[in-house]
Structure 1
Amino acid sequence: MDLAGIPLFAMLRSRLGYLSERERVIAENVSNSDTPGYRPHDLKPFSFEARVTAAMSAASGQAVTQPGHMTSPSVRRPGVKSTRTHDSETTLDGNSVVLEDEMLKMTDARMNYDAAIGFYQKSINMLRLATRPPGRG
């Protein structure tokens, strides 16, 4: 059984991918906290509606059969685009990374990641229960 074919698992996988990417961007911000002129980045908020729209347009759109084929903008990873944050705490060297804010973002991303993993595990357990033969508990 291919779990990627089940919409729930496909959505969970894209959510986990988004959260991993967000943690990478936050870690990049933290690692550049002493770089002169650096401005922190963040990702656009994850949107299930955008994922559903992209999945529907991909299903009804043209197939990409060659590596050189172009995909429509809605098929590309919607919502995973680096955006600059605006912050009032800019140091004299032009760096505007606030470590406290970055740690709050990291904690939020980690809690959401743990919740998504828990939901994934519960869904797997439900599938295992549904596939057991009758009378075996």
Structure 2
Amino acid sequence: MNLAEIPIFSMLRSRLGYLTERQKVIAQNIANSDTVRYVGQDLKPFSFDAKVQMHQAQSQSAGVMAVTQPGHMSPKNEKRPGQVKPLKSPDSETTLNGNSVVLEDEMIKMSDARMDYDTAISFYQKSMNMLRMAARPPGRG
């Protein structure tokens, strides 16, 4: 059985992908903190409810064409899993050159994303340990 077919691992994979993309967006904001008229970006908050609804919709549309290989074209308006779109998120302060990135806020966002990532990795590792324990033959420690 593929781990991606187990719902908890699928959700963790989505969460880790989201956090990776968020860290990239935050790093881009920090890199452009001196760029004239640069407006900081961020991602919409990750929602487990939205992921569960998307998973249920995918399982209900079993007879519909699906993208099974990375090179396949997807139908119009279909959002591929793991695809995230950065949103403009102007911070509270804008400098005279029009830049709205506040480094302190970005560092707080980065540390939050890092803690969330570490938590998801820990949960993933504990879930893997439970599967390993369940797969052991009886009587082995």
- Counterparts of 1:71 and 1:52 in 2: how far apart (Å)? 22
SS at match of 2:9: helix
Contact 2:93/2:102, CA 8 A, preserved across alignment: yes
Q: 1:80 aligns with which of 75, 81, 84?
A: 84
Change (3 A) 1:117 1:111: same
Name the counterpart of 1:126.
Answer: 130
Name the counterpart of 1:25.
Answer: 25
User: C-alpha root-mean-square deviation of aligned residues, in Å?
Assistant: 1.8
- Counterparts of 2:114 and 2:36 in 1: how far apart (Å)? 28
Q: Counterparts of 1:101-116 in structure 2 under 5 Å?
A: 101-116=105-120
Structure 1 residue runs of 5 or longer lacking an equivalent are: none
Deviation at 1:91, TM superposition (A): 0.5
Q: Counterparts of 1:1-137 in structure 2 under 5 Å?
A: 1-61=1-61, 62-65=64-67, 67-70=72-75, 73=78, 75-77=79-81, 80-137=84-141
- Tell me which stretches of 4 or more aligned residues in structure 1 moved more than 3 Å: 75-79
- Counterparts of 2:53 and 2:77 in 1: how far apart (Å)? 12
**In the alignment, residue 44 of structure 1 is paired with which amino acid?**
K
Structure 2 residue runs of 5 or longer lacking an equivalent are: none
- Counterparts of 2:76 and 2:6 in 1: how far apart (Å)? 23
Change (3 A) 1:23 1:36: same
- The number of residue pairs the alignment matches comes to 136
Sequence identity percentage: 59
Deviation at 1:58, TM superposition (A): 1.3
Deviation at 1:65, TM superposition (A): 4.9
- Counterparts of 2:85 and 2:67 in 1: how far apart (Å)? 25
